[in-house]
Amino acid sequence: MISQKMTDAINDQIKAEYESAYLYLAMSAYLEAKNLKGMAHWMKKQCKEEAEHAEKFMEHLYERGARVVLEAIAKPAVEFGAPLDVFKAVLKHERLVTGRINKLMDLAREEKDYASQSMLTWFVDEQVEEEANADDIVNKFEFLGDSSASTYMLDKELGAR
């Protein structure tokens, strides 16, 4: 059986995953308004992935006989700046999520909750990938510079996701 402390922490992470999804959806809307359809598409995909992460956490609680309690999520920002600023915000956010996942893993170890540790290992690995993807995009923007041509090129590349 999963402890109440672990259940509460996972429910909090479910909220955080949906907040991430909502943030990426807001970024998608912002980029769409800037006519950066490829980048907007990338963010929509990211939004869906975050919602899937929330569902993975929910399934874990269901399988363990725990109750899922959904909390209200915060309203995301509506302005994000230049495309480079948007992706720097993505990288910063993914690093925040990595910290949250690591704290959940610490708690699972403290609680000797091996099932949660097993499930969280997938998320630890996923966060390595998420940070690497965001860092790669930021590095490309910084390498290419802030020109219309580089923005156009990266918009096309990100639209292929």
Tens digits of per-residue pLDDT, 118-136? 999 999 999 999 999 999 9
Domains and CATH numbers, the chain: 4-159 (1.20.1260.10)
Q: What is the pLDDT of residue 146?
A: 75
Average pLDDT across the chain, whole number: 97
State the Cα–Cα distance between residues 113 and 1, nearest whole angstrom: 9
Q: What is the pLDDT of residue 110?
A: 98
Tens digits of per-residue pLDDT, 43-76? 999 999 999 999 999 999 999 999 999 999 999 9
State the Cα–Cα distance between residues 44 and 39, nearest whole angstrom: 9
Tens digits of per-residue pLDDT, 83-113? 999 999 999 999 999 999 999 999 999 999 9
Q: What is the pLDDT of residue 147?
A: 84
Residue that is written with structure tokens 């630890």 in the block: 124
Q: What is the pLDDT of residue 33?
A: 98
Token reading at 153: 């090129």
State the Cα–Cα distance between residues 101 and 108, nearest whole angstrom: 10
**Other Cβ atoms within 10 Å of 18 Cβ, number:** 21
**Minimal CA–CA distance to 95: which of 59, 64, 122, 133?**
133
Q: What is the pLDDT of residue 103?
A: 98
State the Cα–Cα distance between residues 25 and 27, nearest whole angstrom: 5
Q: What is the pLDDT of residue 1?
A: 86
Q: Is the pLDDT of residue 6 over 80?
A: yes
Confidence label for 145 from pLDDT (cuts 50, 70 and 90): confident
